[in-house]
Structure 1
Amino acid sequence: MRSAASAPGKVILFGEHAVVYGKPAVAVAINRRTTVTLEDSGEMRIDIPSLGISFTGESGTPAGGILDYIMRALELYHDGSPLRVRVDMEVPAGSGLGSSAALTVALIGALDAYHGREAGPDDTASRAHRVELDVQGAASPLDTAVSTYGGLIYLAPDRTVRRLSADLRDSLVISSTHRSGNTAEMVASVRERYERLPEVMSMIMDATEMITRTACRFILENNLEPLGELMNINHGLLDAMGVSTPELSMMVHEARAAGAAGAKITGAGGGGSIVAFCPGTAGSVAEALGRKWNTLRAEFSSEGVLHL
């Protein structure tokens, strides 16, 4: 028996970290996917070539990093029989591009096909979110929703998902630091700051919500021009939350200097990536950032989880 599924990575345009506290967020699926292939096996085996991971049942129980998501999903949604799990990642781990969500959604899709289960996207996203919650301790449903549905997503405070329409072609540039971020650690650090300074952090989260709602309104009006300025303000608030680093800030400012309308951290921060909104200037911005950092021109993906 063999089954396979893939799911896209994502870029958060507005609202990361605030979304953990019930605020809205806007994110977009990108054409970098993670594919999970399952096959019958005489022993448990996990292979992730891009990370140099090759685990067999004789090695004990795998743990740490992205392996925690695989093991938790298998505990919840598999019957315990030995499998070979192969993960092919175009979404770099720790990059802030939703690698764990893409992996989890693709694995659940492959497991559903393997067991002959039929599941709608709402159910898939919900189960993937449970895995992220169990592993991270705190997680919004945003990443798993984007990897499940694809497209441009607005996650409302009541956790309903709304698909938006906007022409983002050839306008997004992503650049990654040489240091990976740890989502669980960064979520915890924001929570600790919130506990120390609840009134200040509450105002920061409220301001982030206002930016996200304003961005959504402009997108619905098909007016994308203000998005860059809103991204710049959102970055300042993420810095105030304590999730930026000198390298991330340098990348943001170099993107703006090269012609980006706006740039900000995307994802948990503490390392990882920035996203620059560059209508008409994506080439020059990518060239400037690419001199120092891993840089790609991300394309919008309308497709979410796919059974292969």
Structure 2
Amino acid sequence: MVINENMLSAKAPGKLILSGEHSVVYGAPAIAVAVNHYVTATFSPSDTDTLIITSSVLGQSRRTLVQLEHLVAHLDQRFERFLLGELAVQDVLQTPHDLLYYTALQSDSLPSGTVTIHSDIPTGAGMGSSAAVIAALLQLFQSSSCAQQRDDKKPEFFQKVKYCERLQHGRGSAIDAAAVTYGGVLKVQADKVTPLPLELGDGWYHFHTGTPCCSTGETVAAVRAKFSHRTDLWQQFAKITQAFEANIKQPSRLGSAMRANHQLLQEIGVVPAPVSALIAQIESMGGAAKICGAGAHQGETAGQVLVYFPEQNSETLSAQLGVCLTPLQQQLNGAHRG
């Protein structure tokens, strides 16, 4: 195998929302944790006039630099049409690879060569796969050669991730961009990101209920249409997130906060019935669980479910529930080179 000495690589973690999904869009705080599931991107430069992007999820696409010259302006215009109500959020991007090219084109010069993207983050699962892809690509093409991003550069990088991600999720929150940038546990409110010096410890699991039939952007839009005026509802979410942060080391109170969070998520209609039944089973056994992403306003699956069940064996729980529980493992550093 011939190794290309000019090849670059970067990776970015996925995330799980511990508290505050949906309400974070309306200014309430949310808490998330970066997890050890990754998007890895490599780039081999060439002297051709073509940028090739190969994704383990989307397949391969190639476009000449001439074809890419006006892509950023074109997609910015389509996003403005979304803001004006002329386009649905799912119609802003015209091909699945558009977001990848758009992100690559945020570099100072048009890159030519081959980008290869591999992901072990399930798509549409509430784990921030889009933000992780964006962050890995931005790391590839940023001017700094440092493997680990400096803390003072992270706010600027966070804004870049958020800016690109808007094409996918519309008026979504900043929480995915924050988690993949900073790593660890963090609180997000509006655009303010506060890293929390916490280690969650044992008893945390997650499992995949299946990819929802509707995108994050669609579900966020559906909730907005029905509940954007319900300030009382978002205030209740905010109180639960505050309780979650205050009781992170107190299992009984933490479980109560998660169960209350689940009830509010059911109220806004983003927990499909089969997922709700599984969570009810976990609660009947003494644990707590909730969706930890946008969920879904249609269909029977809702991406990832977060489970808190301290002092229990994951294999025993998995057998009893009929699902595969994965122990939650924190990732501390966020997106980085290498």
Give the TM-score normalised by the residue count of structure 1: 0.87
Q: Mark the runs of 5 or more structure 1 residues left unpaired by the alignment.
A: none
CA distance 1:106–1:121, shift in 2 (3 Å): same
CA distance 1:31–1:288, shift in 2 (3 Å): farther
Conserved 8 A contact 1:38-1:114: no
Cα separation, 2, equivalents of 1:54 and 1:67? 9
Cα separation, 2, equivalents of 1:66 and 1:297? 31
In structure 1, what is the equivalent of residue 62 of structure 2?
56
How far the C-alpha of 1:224 sits from its partner, in A, is: 4.0
In structure 1, what is the equivalent of residue 299 of structure 2?
none
Cα separation, 1, equivalents of 2:52 and 2:313? 41
In structure 1, what is the equivalent of residue 306 of structure 2?
275
What is the one-letter code of the residue matched to 1:150? G
Which 10-residue stretch deviates more, 39-48 or 124-133?
39-48
Conserved 8 A contact 2:186-2:193: no
Conserved 8 A contact 1:255-1:288: no
Cα separation, 1, equivalents of 2:110 and 2:136? 18
1:240 and 2:267 aligned: yes
In structure 2, what is the equivalent of residue 38 of structure 1?
43
1:285 and 2:312 aligned: no
Cα separation, 2, equivalents of 1:12 and 1:53? 28
How far the C-alpha of 1:24 sits from its partner, in A, is: 0.3
Cα separation, 1, equivalents of 2:242 and 2:95? 33
SS in 1 for 2:43: strand
SS in 2 for 1:225: helix
Cα separation, 1, equivalents of 2:225 and 2:263? 19
Give the TM-score normalised by the residue count of structure 2: 0.79
In structure 1, what is the equivalent of residue 246 of structure 2?
217
1:109 and 2:139 aligned: yes
SS in 2 for 1:56: strand
SS in 1 for 2:192: coil
Deviations 1:79-134, CA, capped at 9 Å, x for gaps? 22323121111111111111111111111111115889987111111110111123
Conserved 8 A contact 1:175-1:273: yes
What is the one-letter code of the residue matched to 1:57? R
What is the one-letter code of the residue matched to 1:246? A
Sequence identity, in percent?
26
SS in 2 for 1:11: strand
How far the C-alpha of 1:3 sits from its partner, in A, is: 1.5
Cα separation, 1, equivalents of 2:198 and 2:7? 36
Identify which of 215, 222, 231 aligns with 1:202: 231
How far the C-alpha of 1:295 sits from its partner, in A, is: 4.0
1:123 and 2:156 aligned: yes
Conserved 8 A contact 2:19-2:261: yes
In structure 1, what is the equivalent of residue 78 of structure 2?
none
Q: Mark the runs of 5 or more structure 2 residues left unpaired by the alignment.
A: 1-5, 72-92, 297-301
Counterparts of residues 254-273 of structure 1 (less than 5 Å): 254-259=281-286, 261-270=287-296, 271-273=302-304
Cα RMSD after superposing both structures: 2.6
Kindly name which structure, 1 or 2, has the bigger radius of gyration based on alpha carbons.
2
SS in 2 for 1:30: strand
CA distance 1:30–1:158, shift in 2 (3 Å): closer
Number of corresponding residues: 296
Deviations 1:217-238, CA, capped at 9 Å, x for gaps? 223xx43431111111111111
Identify which of 208, 211, 218 aligns with 1:176: 208
CA distance 1:72–1:258, shift in 2 (3 Å): farther
CA distance 1:302–1:286, shift in 2 (3 Å): farther
Cα separation, 1, equivalents of 2:196 and 2:14? 16
How far the C-alpha of 1:68 sits from its partner, in A, is: 4.0
Cα separation, 2, equivalents of 1:104 and 1:254? 37
1:164 and 2:197 aligned: yes
SS in 2 for 1:76: coil
Counterparts of residues 63-82 of structure 1 (less than 5 Å): 67-77=97-107, 79-82=109-112
Cα separation, 2, equivalents of 1:64 and 1:273? 27
